[in-house]
Amino acid sequence: MTVQDVKPTRSELIELKRKIKLSESGHKLLKMKRDGLILEFFEILKKAKTVRAELDEQFISSMEKINVAKSVEGIVTVKSTAFSFKDTPRLEVESKNVMGVVVPKIESSSIKKDINERGYGIIGTSSRIDEAAEAYENLVDKIILAAEIETTIKKLLDDIEKTKRRVNALEFKVIPELSEARDFIILRLDEMERENTFRLKRIKA
């Protein structure tokens, strides 16, 4: 089949123009989403760096305080105190929406407690035990926050990558191919119109 054998119609041209318009509109929206996700990603990344630094600092502080407690109270007392805790932390994972991306929101309870809620006797233990317990409660709290933020970052990165691929596919493949097909149909319709005009003139002559 040659180019001359292809006989497109006006309805095909209208349909192609409609597809191009939809693709361009989708491309614009996806670019806006991609840019928004990238901005949100960098905001959360800054927060993640802060939380990670606080987590490292809290870990060092917790280790120092537990070591002091062991040296003052003895390892056996520290371990028996740890086993006397009444409640274990409870976590509930919910969802929240960040720029159209569903990310986890971790709610925790029974982590930070008052001295009388920890389960060990106040009499017979020094303040070193209390300080170590409080330090580790803060550490667990930071770990949960870091887990939530870092999971959010991973999900945002995945969605940014998917959105970028869709933007590139529309920009460099779909829209150019549709535009090329549109230009070809316009060219063929013009040629067909000239051929018909020439034929009519010959018939009239």
Query: pLDDT digits over 44-100, tens only?
Result: 999 999 999 999 999 999 999 999 999 988 888 888 777 776 667 777 888 888 878
What is the extent of the structural domain holding 69?
28-159
Strands (E) across the chain are located at: 90-98, 101-109
77 alpha carbon, distance to own chain's centre = 45
173 in a structural domain: no
* Local structure of 200: helix, strand or coil: helix
88 in a structural domain: yes
Separation in Å, CA 146 to CA 59, 153, 187: 13, 10, 60
145 in a structural domain: yes
Identify the pLDDT of residue 122: 60
201 in a structural domain: no
184 in a structural domain: no
pLDDT score of 2 more than 60 = no
Give the integer Cα–Cα distance in Å for 198 and 205: 11
Q: How confident is the model at residue 154 (pLDDT cuts 50, 70, 90)?
A: very high
For the question of whether the overall pTM of this predicted structure is more than 0.85, the answer is no
The CATH number covering residue 100 comes to 1.10.287.3240
Do residues 18 and 181 make contact, with C-beta atoms less than 8 angstroms apart?
A: no
Separation in Å, CA 156 to CA 82, 160, 169, 176, 194: 38, 6, 20, 29, 55
Number of domains in the chain: 1
Which residues does residue 106 pair with via DSSP β-bridges, in sequence order? 93
Written as one letter, the residue type at 25 is S
Query: pLDDT digits over 23-50, tens only?
Result: 999 999 999 999 999 999 999 999 999 9
